[in-house]
Structure 1
């Protein structure tokens, strides 16, 4: 909509070939001025005053470009930076060192003010050069008169500007630094229609006001106006650009919807993944604790194993020592038996009889004089059995036996009392002699 409006407002009348931008050139007398009344209500709470200024003389002490005067100056701007006043505030005065544009050259001047922020700013050639605070609650006073090249009704020549001004406009709002830069870069022939809603006191109005003394218009630049056909083509171009922009905007909106949906989906997945990550971290903490506990147990088991291994080694050493001592004892015993009181019963101490089960096969290896042993078939030939026969069966034919006495049993201490041993005593060692019974 703004593009189309700009296109229409830029179209001048088809009957004119050029659009002329003029300036006002003021003479060097206090009688050369423009003065009129204007409704300043739109600027009560904020304003922006912008103008192009050219100095041609520096003889005046306080060269007045413009002042809005009631009983004193409400707005007062000079061409040399000495006075820059708004709502009667003098905080921006004495800036002569900033006004360095040579005589005969144009420079851009903008003064802004806001009651809400209590701030006034001064721009030269689009650059901010000073900022000040204005009194709290101080609005612009109404009912004054506007003067150009004159300080109110004074005829003092010390206030004579005597230069040129162009595109002097007062806006009803504070222009941004970007807008001021744009106006400056646009130059003397810049089209200000984009600010038409807030451009209240217009340069065109000032040019139409009556002038006093030596005040004349001078041309500063011209621009070719568009013909009706050119205007229509330009309008078509702008309309096409607008439609294309609108189409692109629609595509961008659809793309934005898709991207927004994907972003929402991604955020949901992120929440799920974050939850899983938190759960994994908790599990990891549990597993880490278990692993640490297992490590502690492993250390303890290693300690126990080392202790048991040490004990096992000691036991093996002791066992080896016992085995050696047993072997030595057995060797000594065998030697003793071969050298002292050897009898036929000592054979039973030798393999394969001693401490083995007496079988029928083993018994057949003996002579008939060994018949008393038949009762012990199936019985281990222990020390008790062998010593019994050594003491009580001395003759091969066993003609006589001693009577049974309790001393016989002493040889069986520590010997398993098998059925063969008991049967032997029952049948063989009664109260009478052996009676030559070889089956006993």
Structure 2
């Protein structure tokens, strides 16, 4: 303070503000000297009464007990209690929120574990499916190989069947020729003279007997296609057929 200026009187709760206070704010301060309303203005209060009380004093200054300290303490205590209650309420809410968060976190953790289990099962199923697909591919390749082999074998069998059919057709033609010649040889007279090696069949060993493998061994060295007649009984007609067919003697057919 300026020491050249003297002040005579009482001073209490001197505050200076950086803004113009409204009429309502001034009335609120004047209503009760111990209300402490000035403290609600915060940074707008640029000079505070509690700071003035700390300044060096000169002259005859007497402090008067206004009992505002007690009121201020009561007010601050009340405010502190209100803040404490608010804090306790917020703390309780925070505990409830924390409990809710813990429950949600536990639920999320359980869901995460279930998801991880499902993911592991999915990976295992995927691997099983991959192995199954690989086996199916191998089986398919083996089947294709077997198919190609079967087709080749079928082609070979078809070729052999065609050859067999050709031989069968030729045999049927020859058999028809034999049947025709046998039919023509029915009326040939019994030949009692040996004019051909077929006359050997008139001997006791052959005539009237059935052609067997043993008898064929005697004749097949010089006679072709005699095996067609295995199981046939040797008769005069058979002998005449052999003589006409192999010797060119067809007097009975002229």
Query: TM-score, length-normalised on structure 1?
Result: 0.29
Relative to its length, the structure with more strand (as a share) is 1
Q: Report 1 or 2 for greater relative contact order, CA contacts < 8 Å, sequence distance ≥ 6.
A: 1
Query: TM-score, length-normalised on structure 2?
Result: 0.45
